[in-house]
Amino acid sequence: MSLRKRNRFDRFLIGWLIGFISPLIIFLIFYVMKYSEMEFMVYLRNVWQMKIFMKILSLCAFPNLGFFFLFYRMKYDMAARGVIFATFMYAFAVLVVRLI
């Protein structure tokens, strides 16, 4: 077991929150940059009806890779685990929706 002092950001919950919220923020940025003239709820309905919502959301999870490597490089192992867990949650949601 390591004797190094744990940083206050090296927490599973911090990593999970960053890993869970960052794809949503990327999704909102994509909406604002590309489709801001359309109402958000109309945009969501159109994306869902075209059956590309989960594809877009899974692409929005890619920045989690950057957060994972950042935490891993800084030796914040628990935060890196949280990011990976949040990414797996997104992957599981995409899998469940595709199977339904």
Alpha carbon distance 63, 55 (integer Å): 15
pTM: 0.84
Angle CA 57–62–64, to nearest 5 = 110
In tens, the pLDDT along 39-92 reads 999 999 999 999 898 889 889 999 999 999 999 999 999 999 999 999 999 999
| Contact present, 82 and 17 (Cβ < 8 Å) | yes
Both structure tokens of 17? 């929150």
Alpha carbon distance 72, 49 (integer Å): 38
Residue with the bigger pLDDT between 2 and 83: it is: 83
Mean pLDDT computed over 26-44? 93
What pLDDT sits at residue 17? 96
End-to-end Cα, the chain, rounded Å: 44
Alpha carbon distance 13, 31 (integer Å): 27
Which of the 8 DSSP states describes residue 38? S
- Res 3 pLDDT > 70: no
